[in-house]
Amino acid sequence: MGVDRWVDPILTWVGAAAVIAYLVYIHQRRTRSSLEGAMLVLLYALGALYVIRGFYWLSDDPRLEVLTYVPVSLVPLATTLFVEALLRRHTRLILKLFVGTGTVVFFTLNLVPLIERAAYFAGYRIFALTTFAWLGLVLVTRRRRAHSSVENRFINAFVLVLAFGFLVTMTDVRLRPEWLPLRMGGLGGLIFVYTCVRVTDLAESTGVLLWEIAGFAFKAAVLTVIAILLAGTAAPRMYVPVFFVALALVMLHTILDRIRELRVQGRHTSFYQWLVDARTHSLDEFIDSLDQLPLADDHLVLREADLDGYDPARMALTFDAAHPIWTLSGLRTELAQVTQEDDINDQLIALLEEHQMTHVTLLGRDPHAFFLLNLPQFAGSHNPVLEVALIQKYSRLLRWRGEGEGEGEGEGEGGKRGP
């Protein structure tokens, strides 16, 4: 099997990898919106198509061809549902009838054993390309005043996706120039997924998205030149396939990196959701709510009853406005600079080492409660220490409120209250 025979399956499977990665992310962060539901239908159709089609292009097995056209016949319908969800309204009845009828006809004919495949391909080609062109026209001619500026930027990005999808569909159905000896349907999936993960920053225009795609093409061209120089004797006919494979891999890497960033942002969101849901009627209730904290895999609340062998009152003295949180490394550095004999830091260090934790903060006094966590101590986009500081500040405010209410109960209406 020649190297060039692998190009089409590789492009297709790279597209499948991007679609599957985004599907996994969505299922981990479900919003249950109508737009998300329509997007899932389209992603599942594209994912199944790319996985099966890669094997079909390797083997040319007629049975795989029939199986491939099961999701293929559903893509125009899934795209129509997605466009309706984008616009928040139904498309015209004539378009619905065209897409619905075409989907039923081509889905059914694909499963008929005696159907003439050449005629089927020609018919589906007209159906799919007409649908994509029609949907693109619907998006371009929409009533922009019916949507906010943010929604219009979002929709404009998907006009670009439909235009690119139209072009790559032509390469998959054998409508491509002679200088392009490969099928690029997988790139359509990559463009779609990248647009989905990229336009989460809705303040940016479609022009930014175009510049970024142009940047991917430049990186792919650089990698192609390097590959050609290293190969030395690479045939000229392989230059274009190598470029598109490099482009697909660059886009896949960027998509996976962006999904990782979105997961980090999701951790912030889950922390804020926990903070909103946390019980704040008293400090004890707030501390109990830490059991559901999504901040770290390893965290522990130790109260006075859990601190046999330690002096919690003395350990609490080391926490002040300058040091609301201590790290294990910070305590060791502080201990090395202490001239007089003092075992406060020694006790905190021993407490962290005993429970294999890296951070500690004081949540309450009388009775004392310490919050221990095991957090990574390196630079990154996510800074969980700020979240720990917010927890500590909430607990301090609740402690003051509790003390103020206690004093008020003992002194009547004129009693003091905490700040």
Distance separating alpha carbons of residues 68 and 54, to the nearest angstrom:
9
- What 3-state DSSP class applies to 302? strand
- The structure tokens listed for 380 are 């990154």
pLDDT of residue 121: 86
Q: Mean pLDDT over residues 265-292, rounded?
A: 76
Q: What's the CATH class of domain 3-275?
A: mainly alpha
Tally helices (H) and strands (E) across the chain.
Answer: 14, 4
Asked if residues 366 and 391 have their Cβ atoms less than 8 Å apart, the reply is: no
CB atoms near residue 23 (< 10 Å): 17
Q: Where are the domains of the chain?
A: 3-275, 280-408
The region that residue 2 occupies, defined by phi over 0 for left and psi between -120 and 50 for alpha, beta otherwise, is beta
In the predicted model, is pLDDT for residue 61 greater than 90?
no
According to DSSP, the residues that pair with 369 across neighbouring strands are 303, 364
Task: Please give the single-letter amino acid code of residue 66.
Answer: V
pLDDT bucket at 413, cuts 50 / 70 / 90:
very low
Q: What is the pLDDT of residue 1?
A: 46
299 bridge partner residues: 373
> Does position 338 have pLDDT exceeding 80, yes or no?
no
Query: What's the pLDDT at 417?
Result: 34
Where residue 200 falls among pLDDT bands split at 50, 70, 90?
A: low
For 403, the token pair is 């003390």
Q: How far apart are CA 21 and CA 362, in angstroms?
A: 40
> For residues 398 and 406, what is the distance between their CA atoms, to the nearest angstrom?
12
